[in-house]
Every structure is written in structure tokens, then in C-alpha cells.
Amino acid sequence: MKPAVFHELLGEKHFTKVQPATFVNLTQRYRNQDAAKTVSLDKLNNAEWKSYFGLFVPFPNSFKSPLALCYHGHQFGSYNPYIGDGRGFLYAQLIENKTKRLMDLGTKGSGKTPFSRSGDGRLTLKGAFREVLASEYLIALGVNTCKILSVFETEEKLQRQDEPSPTRAAVLVRLSHSHIRIGSFQRLAYLNQHEEILKLARYVVKYYYPKLDYDIAPKELLKHLLKSLVENVAEMVAGWMSSGFVHGVLNTDNFNLTGESFDYGPWRFLVKMDFNFTAAYFDHDERYSYGKQPEAALWALCRFADCLVEFVSEKELEKELSEFYPKMQSALFKKLCWRFGVLPPADIKEDVFISLFFNATSKSKINLDYLFHKYYAGFEPKTLQTESKEIIPFLEILSVQKARQASRPEYFSQSLASSLSIDEVEDIWSCISERDDWTKFEKKIKIIKDYGTALRVE
């Protein structure tokens, strides 16, 4: 399959050609060899890496110039027709080695575009650093997420309200299964470009849902696409909930058409169970709190379904949307069991197990990282004597479940390291900002990868 397909198949109604910013000085801060290997980029030398991911020299057989994609979106519930790729662009498309799926290379902090409005088109180094940590930890925890491929510090100085300024700047490249968002369809519906909706849907199905038939009647095509997206988003949100992850900004332009988590701004990982916790300081109404993430995701899916009403009846769309909560519950049940290292029990209903987990962790206020680490499969029941009475009923059920691995990985016999609280993040960042010391960051990335490896041991 030829990778450079987006502009050829969809045309300029969906993007604007742009030029990347020119960066005088570039210092490589992060190179993701694991992600690079999946698209055969791991053999690049340092000069080539800088050329592609700092200077944005075009890849062979891909775009000659980057594409800033057009989209609208609901931002905290209010529709905004004036957004789009404002500080990033779709830079190239490659083929993943294992799955043969189309992969998108998207940037952040790569300069102004026609959609930048009053923004400078730049990204802070701290913002890039936080995106790397969030994506790596979610990958370790089995959540469907983009991968941060590269970060270069640009040596510019930026002014920001939410960071001590002037602050350091960076340019980031992420690898994902789609750069197209729910907001991409919302824009076309807003403009009454219904044939473009159908064209975009066929593109999405052909290149991101290869098991579906992209050349069938419009009604069936869109129903199948919605059904698949509902399943993928349910899986993604279940991953957030089982990880104690709070995304922070779940606007419709932050949901892509493959159900892959991305764009990590004011994220947090819960230390203790708190359904009302919000990651964004500007989310005054707690619209995107930890406990409301499933509701926010379904709301975004409903807005996608709104774009399809010219082709599919509301009743049929509602039927597909009604599957979101059952699918999310089933996925959450399996993901919680997976993270605790046990096989899903057959004698406990999914909703009972989930309710017991959330009730016990909410009442006990137990440290979640401690809980997942200490009580991974194979723990001794006698250790329960040291815990609060609120958490014991859940741990007693957990203790009699069958482990999903042949033996408990040695990782879980060591002291707790698999965590990513905001205090840890700020401590790591202070070493970078004050002394340009990246040692703790590199160590934390290794710990996170080791955790992911331990969770996947057969």
C-alpha cells in the first residue's frame, strides 16, 4: 500500500498546506526507538533523525509539504468553528510493519498555521516532557494510545500563563493510527458537505478499519464505522478508568476516529480514588473529571452520530450508541483483572466486581499504585491483616482468583516504582529545568517500560 494517500484521496477541502517553523538550534531530548522500529525508522542516524523530526525534510514517497487539517469541535460543551491544526500538522504517513496499517506522523509545536489564531504555534519543553511520560505510562498499562516518537528542544523562549516564563520550547512528533478527529466530521456537517462526510468515512474505513468493507452502501458503511468507533472508544475509556488516568480535556476535537488516546495536556494519574478529581485547572464545572470521563466520551460519540443523520436514521444511530456502556463495562472488568494479574473470574458478575473495586478504593482511600503493585497475583492472604477494613472485602475476592501468568514476575517483589503522581512529575521536571539533568527522566522511562514488560509476561 502506498503510504502518501491523505491529500491524494481527500483533496484540499480537508487541509491546508503549510510550512514548518525554522529552528536555528535543535537538541534531541527524546528518541523512541521502540516506536521507531514499528515503522522501520530505528536505523536512522542522528543526523537523519534531526533532518526528519527537527527540520521536517519530507520523507521519500510521502507529503512534499505538511498538511494542517481542518476541523471544528465542541470545547467544554460549546461549539467552536474556528479551530484546526493550530500548532501542529500531519507530516507524513508510513506503514506499520506488523499490522500493515497506515500510520500518521503528527507534530506539536512545529509553528503557526492558518488556524493558530492568537497562538504562537509553539510547545513548551515541559509540555513535551509531560506528553512523553503520559503516553509511556499508558502504553505500559495496556491503553490504546499514540506514541511520542521524538522531542527536540528548540532553544526558543516562550511566554505562558501556566508556567514560569520565559520557558523552554520544544517540537514533538507523535505516531498514531489516525490524525482525523470527530471534529473533522463536525466541520463537514456544519458546512453541509454531506458527500465529503461520506468520502472521509470511506477513507477512514479503508485505511484504519481494514476488516470492514469501505465500498458498501453509505448507510451500512456509516453504521459499521460508528459501531467500530463505539467499541474502540469504550475500550480506550475503560483503559483510562482502570489506570486511574484523568485526561483533562475531552473536547470532540480530542477524539480521533480510531479510538486512540492522544494530546496529553493537563493530565493526572490518581493517587487515591476520587471521582470528582479534575486535571485541568480551568475545568471549573468538573465536566471532565475522572468519574465523568465515560459520560464525556459517549457525549462525543453522540456528536459524531449527529454528523451521520443524512444517511442513517436516528433510531439506528441510537442503537449503536446504546452499546457504549455495556462494552465499556466489559472492557473495564477485563482490564482491572489484567492489571491485578488474574484471569477474569467466571463466578462474579462484571458489574459486581467493578462496583466492589470502586467502593472499596473510594472508602479506604488506599494509594492506588501501592494497591496494584502489592496485591498483584500471588500475594499472601495473611498480608490483608495490615489493611483497612474497607479494602479487605475486595482483596479477599482477589486473593482466590487464578493468576494469568505462570509465576508472579519478580518486578512485583521489589519496592514500588510503578507510579506517576504529579509530585513525581514535578520532581523530575525540576531536575531538568534547574540543572538540565535528564537522569531521573531517563530512569523513570526505563521503570515504566519494565512495568509494562512485567505486566505482559506470559
Positions marked active-site:
253
Distance between CA atoms of residues 28 and 49, nearest Å: 9
Cβ–Cβ < 8 Å for 166, 35: no
The Cα–Cα gap between 35 and 105 comes to 11
Contact 403, 377 (CB under 8 A): yes
Give dist(CA 315, CA 387) in Å, integer.
Answer: 49
Q: Are 199 and 188 in contact, with CB atoms under 8 Å apart?
A: no
Distance CA 135, CA 131 (A): 6
140 Cβ contact list (under 8 Å, min separation 6): 418, 448, 449, 451, 452, 455
Q: How far apart are CA 135 and CA 60, in angstroms?
A: 28
All 3 cell numbers of residue 196? 465529503
Identify the residue whose cell numbers are 470532540: 252
CA–CA gap between residue 93 and residue 4 (Å, rounded): 6
Which of the 8 DSSP states describes residue 173? Answer: E
Residues ≥6 apart with Cβ < 8 Å to 88? 68, 106, 107, 108, 109, 110, 113
CA distance 311 to 90: 29
Query: What is the C-alpha to C-alpha distance for residues 454 and 405, in angstroms, rounded to an integer?
Result: 10
In 3D, which of 22, 106, 120, 109 has the Cα closest to residue 71? 106
Place of cell 458489574: 351
Q: What are phi and psi of 410, to 5 degrees?
A: -60, -25
Q: What is the three-class DSSP state of 153?
A: strand
Contacts of 25 (CB under 8 A, 6+ apart): 154, 155
For 1, the grid coordinates are 500500500
* DSSP structural state of residue 209: -
β partners of residue 124: 169
DSSP 8-state class, residue 315? H
Where do we find the cell 506503514? 95
